[in-house]
Amino acid sequence: MATFCQVTRPSTTNDGLYAAGLQFGDQRVMAILGALVGFCFLIAGFTNRQLVERVSALLGSVYTCRQATYDLRRLRRKGLITKIARSRRYQLTGLGRRVAVLFTKTYGRVLAPGLSALDACLPEDVAARCEVGTTWRSFERALDEFIQVQLAAP
């Protein structure tokens, strides 16, 4: 839990520099972490331009070099990447690799599908295919009935 808080909440580096938090679930942050997963095994590291290309593709919208520069600074201050000396390239740290993989897999395999299954706008026939969705809807109906009974009681 300490690592999750370290990464997702604003903090200060050992040098006293501000390190903005990387909000779990934020579309841009998840795209950045997804891009970093693709850079895990690059021996020569990656550049700002490569990050821009990957994140733009994952977001499906414009992601600028200026935004990438800001995000690279956040990633460095959080200890997820390091700058390769005498170059304009960056490399993932061990922590960065662990965080990028865990956050993207958790979001893609658990959170997004789980929230989709609980979506009230999901048609009944589609929700019925998922046990979580069916159970959640039963719980909501039972809770609504309980509240109505409580409100009707003198």
Q: Read off the pLDDT of residues 89-139 as tens digits, 9 standing for 90 and up.
A: 999 999 999 999 999 999 888 877 777 777 777 677 776 777 877 787 888
Where do the domains of the chain lie? 2-114, 119-152
pLDDT at 151: 87
pLDDT at 97: 94
pLDDT at 60: 94
Does residue 79 surpass a pLDDT of 80? Answer: yes
pLDDT interval class at 17 (50, 70, 90): very high
Helices (H), the chain: 2-8, 27-38, 48-59, 65-77, 94-106, 112-117, 124-127, 131-152
**Strand pairing of 89-92 and 18-19?**
unpaired
Q: What is the pTM of this model?
A: 0.77
Contacts 24+ apart (CB under 8 A), 62-69: 63/28, 63/31, 67/28
CATH code of domain 2-114: 1.10.10.10
pLDDT at 154: 72
Does residue 45 surpass a pLDDT of 90? Answer: yes
Answer with the residue of higher pLDDT: 13 or 120.
Answer: 13
DSSP state of 111: I
Do the Cβ atoms of 3 and 99 come closer than 8 Å?
Answer: yes
Does residue 52 surpass a pLDDT of 80? Answer: yes
Q: What is the rounded average pLDDT of the residues 58-72? A: 96
Q: What is the rounded average pLDDT of the residues 43-68? A: 96
Do the Cβ atoms of 102 and 88 come closer than 8 Å?
Answer: no
Q: What is the rounded average pLDDT of the residues 60-80? A: 96
